[in-house]
């Protein structure tokens, strides 16, 4: 059962940021398990039991990094994602929650989509110019999520001024931040995530549909 993160969770994350070495981690491993890893597993399970998209998995991360590709042995954050079971997650749509020293964040991301997928997105916009705009406007209209997407600087041919903001997408990233405090420590955090993911499900399904074209 998820009982909430706590100030001890944040203390551990700050600790690993400034002491990213095996000796410090081994001395504080029990804190990692109690205040960070087990709560993250419980949160992912609580969300999974209340929210699902057909064909997806809920995948929590571990704190250990692959030292072949990283300069430090541990991550300074922990997350879980809802996505299809794909090898390269960054190329596919995901819903996520992450916690780090500065607080939490959640949202939708397709971090590094293949160029051909975004070309399919542009073709879809030309065929159905109001479809993606309606999805984006509904999700972003009250400011809960901030659009942090990257856009091509060079104007892509074919789009109209009305659709340009979404026509120029290089990736798609909509985020809500939860600062350190009551919302992050609330045992009802799973309900907040379920409401957010339900709201973001249309953009997830939109890009998943494009992948199948």
Contact indicator for 16, 37 with CB cutoff of 8 Å: no
Choose between 148 and 68: higher pLDDT. Answer: 148
For strand 103-110 and strand 172-179, is the pairing parallel, antiparallel, or unpaired? Answer: antiparallel
Tokens coding 189 = 């955090």
Tokens coding 46 = 């609580």
Sole residue written with tokens 């972003």: 140
- Which residues make beta-bridge pairs with 7? none
Strand order in the sheet with 146-147: 57-60, 78-83, 94-100, 103-110, 172-179, 146-147
The rounded Cα 93 to chain-centroid distance in angstroms is 9
Q: Report pLDDT for 150.
A: 97
Q: Report pLDDT for 89.
A: 84
> Tens of pLDDT along 24-46?
999 999 999 999 999 999 999 99
Mean of the per-residue pLDDT values of the chain = 95
3-state secondary structure of 78: strand
């Amino acid at each position: 059962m998820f009982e909430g993160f706590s100030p001890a969770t944040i203390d551990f994350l700050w600790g690993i940021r400034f002491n990213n070495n095996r000796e410090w981690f081994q001395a504080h491993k029990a804190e990692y398990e109690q205040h960070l890893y087990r709560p993250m597993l419980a949160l992912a399970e609580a969300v999974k039991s209340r929210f699902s998209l057909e064909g997806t998995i809920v995948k929590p991360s571990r704190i250990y990094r692959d030292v072949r590709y990283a300069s430090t042995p541990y991550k300074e954050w922990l997350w879980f994602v809802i996505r299809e079971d794909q090898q390269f997650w960054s190329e596919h749509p995901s819903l996520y929650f992450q916690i780090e020293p500065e607080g939490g964040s959640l949202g939708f991301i397709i971090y590094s989509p293949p160029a051909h997928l975004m070309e399919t997105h542009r073709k879809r916009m030309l065929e159905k110019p109001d479809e993606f705009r309606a999805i984006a406007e509904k999700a972003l209209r009250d400011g809960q999520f901030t659009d942090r997407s990257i856009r091509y600087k060079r104007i892509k041919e074919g789009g109209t001024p009305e659709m340009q903001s979404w026509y120029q997408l290089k990736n798609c990233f909509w985020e809500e931040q939860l600062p350190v405090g009551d919302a992050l420590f609330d045992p009802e955090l799973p309900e907040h995530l379920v409401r957010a993911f339900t709201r973001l499900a249309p953009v997830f399904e939109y890009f998943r549909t494009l992948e199948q074209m």
